[in-house]
Structure 1
Amino acid sequence: MTDTRTAVLAAVDALVAAFGRHDTKAYFDAFSPAASFIFYNLDRTLQNRAEYEAEWALWETRDGFEVRGCRSTKRNVQLLGDVAIFTHAVETELSISGQAMTNYERETIVFARQTDGRWLAVHEHLSAMPS
């Protein structure tokens, strides 16, 4: 189980690091093409990775969105066979239209072990941190 937990956390760390440096290719490669996404600041569920990639591109072009850093704390992994549920608190430094800001949020990411042994994210749910 420790090896499995280590593998899941390695997948988490790669995903968070790619997000934190605004490396869209590495970030989106950490998700299954069929992954779904629920974000508190959107009025709909993104049903797959392609929808999220399109939304991200819109944020970049319309809003000047850029991730400048990301920190993950209060991390927890629940293992359920070939599925892992990862929860954490996330602090994101970003820029919108050139204005720096920091978001404090909670996030759940569900990972599934692929047939080749890799762990890919299959669902992400982001919530605002309660005040």
Structure 2
Amino acid sequence: MTTPDPAAVEAAAAAIVDAFAATDTDRYFAGFARDATFVFHTEPSRLDDRAAYERLWQEWLQSGWRVTSCTSSDRRVQVFDGGAVFTHSVDTAVTTADGPESYRERETIVFAVRGDDLVAVHEHLSPLT
């Protein structure tokens, strides 16, 4: 197995956050493995693969949802043989059909080395109070 370079993990996480901030669907989901799982405090159950999240994302877009800003802070990278854990705090603002909303959350993204690629295999969001 290969232990990823912390800078590569930072770059992979930044690419995901930047794509999310731009509401760039293709670029955002490119950072996740097809079998990635997602746990969001705003959803009633775990999303068991990327396709499930992509369907939910499309529903959000169709309802008028768009990200207007997303700022990452308090980052930490922990590497291990075969992958890494990236944690940070995130401040997000969105526009919805009902108007603007904002969130302060903590996020964990678990990355795995797959061949020559570093891909996200799990994302977990919890509210930051």
- Normalised to the residue count of structure 1, the TM-score between the two structures is 0.92
Does residue 127 of structure 2 align to residue 128 of structure 1? yes
Deviations 1:66-123 (A, max 9, x none): 111110000001111111001000001110116122211001000011202x211000
Instruction: Give SS of 2:43's match.
Output: coil
Pairs within 5 Å for 1:97-108 = 97=97, 99-108=99-108
Report the AA paired with residue 92 of structure 1.
Answer: T
5+ residue gaps, structure 1: none
Separation in 2 of the partners of 1:18 and 1:98?
A: 23
Matched residue, 2:68:
68
5+ residue gaps, structure 2: none
- Normalised to the residue count of structure 2, the TM-score between the two structures is 0.93
Deviations 1:3-57 (A, max 9, x none): 7001111101111100000001000000000000000011110000000000111
Separation in 1 of the partners of 2:119 and 2:98?
A: 32
Report the AA paired with residue 52 of structure 2.
Answer: E
Matched residue, 1:13:
14
Separation in 1 of the partners of 2:85 and 2:6?
A: 11
Matched residue, 1:59:
60
Pairs within 5 Å for 1:34-49 = 34-49=35-50
Instruction: Give SS of 1:42's match.
Output: coil
Does residue 77 of structure 2 align to residue 77 of structure 1? yes
Structure 1, 99-108 or 22-31: larger mean CA deviation: 99-108
Separation in 2 of the partners of 1:37 and 1:64?
A: 22
Report the AA paired with residue 73 of structure 2.
Answer: T
CA RMSD of aligned residues (A): 1.1
Separation in 2 of the partners of 1:69 and 1:113?
A: 29
Aligned residues: 126
Instruction: Give SS of 1:15's match.
Output: helix
Separation in 1 of the partners of 2:56 and 2:13?
A: 22
